[in-house]
Structure 1
């Protein structure tokens, strides 16, 4: 009986995953391997294994990867004691150029030790090492193998191409009753057709998986269905893209998109992430498969190796009839940077001695000069390698399925909160229908919809008059993303007749059995299913001839309305401290560029809580409007408002959420730095907008929402009466006009109060005047967020020492987070010169550990 080993990884960009794959391929012929990400394993199930191998990486500023976060929290929330016979083998991946080098592996080791874990093999890999992480990884891996040989049995390390799966080719793809098992290399011809026969029939441990050329009944094989596979088997949500609009100028170097996704499944996470499963570029994939002489229109069936007893996360469509092109596009990550051990496998697939020797040199992880210069430095992917060598290798689908990595999900921050969204009448009926029809029919609908929108159909418009929103909705942010952003509807704004049909369909989809035309209930169901995203295309220039684009961001920005996206919703790191929604706490937001999308949902939720607080006080005080407005004004001028520090390149190009920020000035001080602008490099947004009527937007919205709540029943009762609706629209417009008039009157008095109050309130809070701020920064050629924080170091120091302060940091790059932490350390050192660096570092570390400082590095 073979020994069973548990192989786990926590990986953000795939390096830990590749290290685990390397071990998996080398041991699976001698051991039964269970291969999972850390989030896919139940902590209690660890007790089933005698040997647990864990490889983890550190991302962000000492953060654990997303596919490890649930395991990490579960480990801390369980009072477990591991048995002595449970042997842990732990390896960490990190970069010593950062302060929190290998922080995750170190913390995991400490936590496991506290639970009585027997860690028999532990090491750290450093990207700054001359051989990168490979040197320490090889030493650690050899120690693992030595331990297994000593304690169990002697075994040979597998160096052949792995054969975890077999491939059955469907000869007739038109509903024949049988398929034949064939080898693709017999079907494919190439200039090196005289490869050795033993290379065409690689078997494990002396033909352990030898199969006969028999027939396989097609009636036992179901066709691959993408919805069933992702939604039912893998528990993804199916989203439809309803909006994909560029926020930046077409000539601007950064392509940033505002996107809306809709699903029929409820999404209730606040401070959530959406894990998107991207697909490969279809044209590039077709081109490569054509060069490899693989017919991408063929249908195949993947079956697991029957002689193996391994377990891993269900990912590939096993025992399903699937098109070759679909298999590659949906599941196999040709876009990932290639690993050294892949070249070891390529040596068996060429008859050219020159190329075989070249592959051996690139696969060498002791002397990595060839790998570093050819692969790592130029970020060469599997696409690149196969395009470079397709003429000199003889590979088939069987080889690629068993050696290529799986496509990994990418995480993006969700912008909107799920308590409120836009009015239901502003939604296009076609979009919900997209979820229940074929892709071809969706394409036809999209074509028709596009043409309908572009043509002035006067008859339809006269019959179904466009219903205008009776009032703006507080949390509808689609028109606030950037300066150049203009509000566009995804489709036609339908009449109330279409609105009623849509509501009834929504009820049916959601399983509503009772006939109720309750507008608020339908709106609630609708607003739970919309996801807002801000997606920045990741693009870097490797050299003059190559520009690298991120797989997922490139996939998202090229999606048209009506396209499908398969994703999962999970909590971000911000949700680890629930006090971010406690209004007694002061929140400091620090971010740059599009990474601000990680924090905007917190601002929106706190704004919503202030709004709710005001409305509740309105009811409690018997609708005493004047008293409530006075109460709300006191909230506005509270001394310890939140602080928001934002850094952008140019005010005219990438100042996202420009207009929306004005809604939050009543509870937030906002400071802006524009690093590439010559003028207005520093902006104190509260001062800039103190005479802007948009300062009153938040209060206007709160009062409107209160009025709208009182009028909801009247509108719903008269919903099916057109005459009554028109009458109500007229009266509501009149009420809105009255509200605006009243609010403008109140705003004038508030402006006077604000201007007179600045010296004694804000100057005390910042310990300097606005003029002093300008004078402090005017000599700098470029201004960054850290410059503003250092300018306000007295205030920042007080907030760092205050227990009821939460600091949220969002930036894509690790250096940004590291520089901010060092800035905090410098501020404390200046204020407390008697403290040594060890004490200061310990203070900051405790703040990070108890989530008083949260560094969110993904967007």
Structure 2
């Protein structure tokens, strides 16, 4: 199972209105639209938003899939867009580019003021085609160019290209909008020192480290990242084989089950896989920062927005949300220099981050393939806080892989072929690709029905934990329809209310009617304020039936949150104590033996 990883075939649709101009704050409003496939363009857009506030502008970041024709003609717009594949727009920019080039009426953008920064790779024939296209067609449709087109080259130093363009951007915007009042208030465009002073003193987000109980009382924050507004889906690994023979170089064949995922693909498509960071790196980083992985955090700005879903644990943030394996940006290294106590380390970090000799950063960071942990190991005097790290690092991004199966041959699964990146560098350091090593470690699912349909099964799920159990019920229903005999099958399902989130109710009722499910027990936790009922309560209430079935060889499947799974296991221990007069130790040993024997299976997440 990919417990925390996510996968998706990208086909994005417009979702919601675009931005509207506002003068409520007496600041110039700027809308920054991004077209991003791997996340770099989005991170650049968010950087502009963060610095825009310090430069006195009211900046809003907008996913290009949410563009609004009705407001573009009266906006100040910056487009940060990547070129993908053979000169194509990213998935979330396709519809906008199609409208811009082929559907927009003449002068439809008259009144818009704009600037464009394109991201591409000069090794490709269609270098930065999308950025150039947006720039030229915005002008063709009547918009006024504020600043010349910026082009970032990923084959060289795209971060440096962006930094240089961004510095010109702020000078240009200040001059163009004549914001002398803001220039007096905020000196960030004047000197490198003032930029560092602001970065040192100001945090965009407020960080609170709290207990789990307190965290549960916080409202769920609104994440500003497209990964959270366009969620992916969990997928199951059904095969993970080594293809190479007699070599140290690993090449994996991975099969991802599409059953019940809602995803379909066509031959030649790509799949995006969002991995976990290496758990050993996560643990080392937490120790270096002096924080506990089990601590809960709440990271929000004044508008209750977060760079990732909060509240969450430190482990969740470092494992799933921030990119700890990517190459650190110059701005981050500048921040490390400010945090260094040793003067020699401070000077060395300033040299690496310096813009006078770009070759130092290129050789040490890019060619040296160093990440944040490498820097913290090599510069031990740096005193970095968790707050600094979470604000400075970009989001962990999905990796795209060509699907190596044909959709007509394998419509129920997508196959990936990936060489595992695990290199020993000249100085002895080890560089591991975050996604290929994650894929290498994924396990083939054991969350499968027994081969004999007559074997009884006990299925327990809460909320979306019903998803894999639904697939099992569909399988058993098909077995029954073709004449196979079924065992006594139990479904225990829990949610908040029968009227609000009782998902797949019609299907469950059908399974009860056609005897796919022999016994159904429901637990609605919010239906009666006086008595909350959970799935573990239903387990304990039906001790005799469940223990009888287990003694007849039943398999148990539990799917949902880790906290729920823990309570369900405790309930089964109680079942054996109630019905078989066992001690706690004896009952726990019996449940453990069921797990070890492959008859007590869990698919859980935190």
**Structure 1 and Structure 2 fold alike (TM over 0.5):** yes
Which of 306, 318, 323 aligns to 2:313? It is 323
Partner residue of 1:120? 146
Which of 391, 396, 421 aligns to 1:402? It is 391
Partner residue of 2:266? 270
Partner residue of 1:163? 203
Partner residue of 2:419? 536
* 3-state SS of paired residue (1:327): helix
Which of 13, 30, 35 aligns to 1:5? It is 30
Preserved contact between residue 332 and residue 401 of structure 1 (Cα < 8 Å): yes
Q: CA deviation at 1:57?
A: 3.6
* 3-state SS of paired residue (2:373): helix
Deviations 1:592-634 (A, max 9, x none): xxxxxxxxxxxxxxxxxxxxxxxxxxxxxxxxxxxxxxxxxxx
Deviations 1:754-800 (A, max 9, x none): xxxxxxxxxxxxxxxxxxxxxxxxxxxxxxxxxxxxxxxxxxxxxxx
Task: Pick 1 or 2: higher relative contact order, CA cutoff 8 A, min separation 6.
Answer: 1
Find out whether 1:110 has 2:136 as its counterpart. Answer: yes
Partner residue of 1:554? 437
Q: Note closer, same or farther for the CA distance 1:415–1:719 as it changes in structure 2 (3 Å cut).
A: farther
Deviations 1:395-453 (A, max 9, x none): 2221112111011122223344556xxxxxxxxxxxxxxxxxxxxxxxxxxxxxxxxxx
Which of 294, 317, 322 aligns to 2:291? It is 294
Which of 278, 282, 290 aligns to 1:285? It is 282
Alignment of 1:357-436 (within 5 A): 357-389=347-379, 391-416=380-405
Partner residue of 2:244? 248
Preserved contact between residue 243 and residue 261 of structure 1 (Cα < 8 Å): no
Q: Note closer, same or farther for the CA distance 1:236–1:23 as it changes in structure 2 (3 Å cut).
A: same
Which whole-Å CA distance do the structure 1 matches of 2:155 and 2:258 have between them? 46
Alignment of 1:754-765 (within 5 A): none
Q: CA deviation at 1:79?
A: 2.3
Q: Note closer, same or farther for the CA distance 1:89–1:231 as it changes in structure 2 (3 Å cut).
A: closer
Q: Note closer, same or farther for the CA distance 1:140–1:237 as it changes in structure 2 (3 Å cut).
A: closer
Q: Note closer, same or farther for the CA distance 1:48–1:280 as it changes in structure 2 (3 Å cut).
A: farther
Partner residue of 2:171? 145
Q: CA deviation at 1:331?
A: 0.3
Which whole-Å CA distance do the structure 1 matches of 2:114 and 2:384 have between them? 37
Q: CA deviation at 1:74?
A: 5.0
Which whole-Å CA distance do the structure 2 matches of 1:393 and 1:254 have between them? 36
Give the TM-score normalised by structure 1.
0.43
Preserved contact between residue 165 and residue 402 of structure 1 (Cα < 8 Å): yes
C-alpha RMSD of the superposition: 3.8
Preserved contact between residue 165 and residue 401 of structure 1 (Cα < 8 Å): no
Q: CA deviation at 1:135?
A: 5.7
Give structure 2 stretches of 5+ with no counterpart.
1-24, 189-194, 448-478, 487-606
Which whole-Å CA distance do the structure 2 matches of 1:328 and 1:15 have between them? 19
Q: CA deviation at 1:561?
A: 2.0
Give the TM-score normalised by structure 2.
0.59
Which of 345, 354, 357 aligns to 1:355? It is 345
Preserved contact between residue 56 and residue 92 of structure 1 (Cα < 8 Å): yes
Partner residue of 1:453? none
Q: Note closer, same or farther for the CA distance 1:234–1:141 as it changes in structure 2 (3 Å cut).
A: same
Larger Rg over CA atoms: 1
Q: Note closer, same or farther for the CA distance 1:542–1:19 as it changes in structure 2 (3 Å cut).
A: farther
Q: CA deviation at 1:239?
A: 1.4
Give structure 1 stretches of 5+ with no counterpart.
180-217, 420-474, 477-526, 565-714, 723-859
Q: Note closer, same or farther for the CA distance 1:13–1:121 as it changes in structure 2 (3 Å cut).
A: same
Which whole-Å CA distance do the structure 1 matches of 2:375 and 2:446 have between them? 30
Preserved contact between residue 38 and residue 398 of structure 2 (Cα < 8 Å): no
Alignment of 1:453-852 (within 5 A): 475=409, 530-539=413-422, 542-543=425-426, 545-562=428-445, 719-720=483-484
Q: CA deviation at 1:21?
A: 4.3
Which whole-Å CA distance do the structure 2 matches of 1:232 and 1:136 have between them? 25
Partner residue of 1:343? 333
Which whole-Å CA distance do the structure 2 matches of 1:550 and 1:295 have between them? 25
Partner residue of 2:160? 134
Which whole-Å CA distance do the structure 2 matches of 1:315 and 1:247 have between them? 39
Q: CA deviation at 1:22?
A: 3.9
Q: Note closer, same or farther for the CA distance 1:562–1:145 as it changes in structure 2 (3 Å cut).
A: farther
Find out whether 1:239 has 2:231 as its counterpart. Answer: no
* 3-state SS of paired residue (2:133): helix
Q: CA deviation at 1:85?
A: 2.6
Find out whether 1:54 has 2:79 as its counterpart. Answer: yes
* 3-state SS of paired residue (1:113): helix
Q: Note closer, same or farther for the CA distance 1:358–1:24 as it changes in structure 2 (3 Å cut).
A: farther
Deviations 1:543-602 (A, max 9, x none): 3524533322222222112399xxxxxxxxxxxxxxxxxxxxxxxxxxxxxxxxxxxxxx
Which whole-Å CA distance do the structure 2 matches of 1:290 and 1:61 have between them? 44
* 3-state SS of paired residue (1:107): helix
* 3-state SS of paired residue (1:392): coil
Preserved contact between residue 12 and residue 59 of structure 1 (Cα < 8 Å): yes
Which whole-Å CA distance do the structure 1 matches of 2:229 and 2:172 have between them? 38
Preserved contact between residue 249 and residue 420 of structure 2 (Cα < 8 Å): no
Partner residue of 2:517? none
Find out whether 1:31 has 2:57 as its counterpart. Answer: yes
Deviations 1:447-483 (A, max 9, x none): xxxxxxxxxxxxxxxxxxxxxxxxxxxx35xxxxxxx
Which whole-Å CA distance do the structure 1 matches of 2:206 and 2:288 have between them? 23
Q: Note closer, same or farther for the CA distance 1:348–1:37 as it changes in structure 2 (3 Å cut).
A: farther
Preserved contact between residue 73 and residue 111 of structure 2 (Cα < 8 Å): no
Preserved contact between residue 146 and residue 176 of structure 2 (Cα < 8 Å): no
Preserved contact between residue 275 and residue 438 of structure 2 (Cα < 8 Å): yes
Q: Note closer, same or farther for the CA distance 1:252–1:399 as it changes in structure 2 (3 Å cut).
A: closer
Q: CA deviation at 1:296?
A: 1.7
Deviations 1:57-78 (A, max 9, x none): 4454434445544543454464
Q: Note closer, same or farther for the CA distance 1:348–1:242 as it changes in structure 2 (3 Å cut).
A: same
Preserved contact between residue 289 and residue 296 of structure 1 (Cα < 8 Å): yes
Partner residue of 1:444? none
Q: Note closer, same or farther for the CA distance 1:220–1:539 as it changes in structure 2 (3 Å cut).
A: closer
Preserved contact between residue 91 and residue 124 of structure 1 (Cα < 8 Å): yes
* 3-state SS of paired residue (1:543): coil
Which whole-Å CA distance do the structure 1 matches of 2:482 and 2:152 have between them? 68
Q: CA deviation at 1:340?
A: 0.6
Partner residue of 1:79? 104
Q: CA deviation at 1:330?
A: 0.9
Which whole-Å CA distance do the structure 2 matches of 1:84 and 1:533 have between them? 47
In the alignment of these two chains, the number of paired residues is 413
Greater share of helix residues, 1 or 2?
A: 1
Which whole-Å CA distance do the structure 1 matches of 2:393 and 2:427 have between them? 28
Q: Note closer, same or farther for the CA distance 1:48–1:404 as it changes in structure 2 (3 Å cut).
A: farther
Which whole-Å CA distance do the structure 1 matches of 2:40 and 2:251 have between them? 27
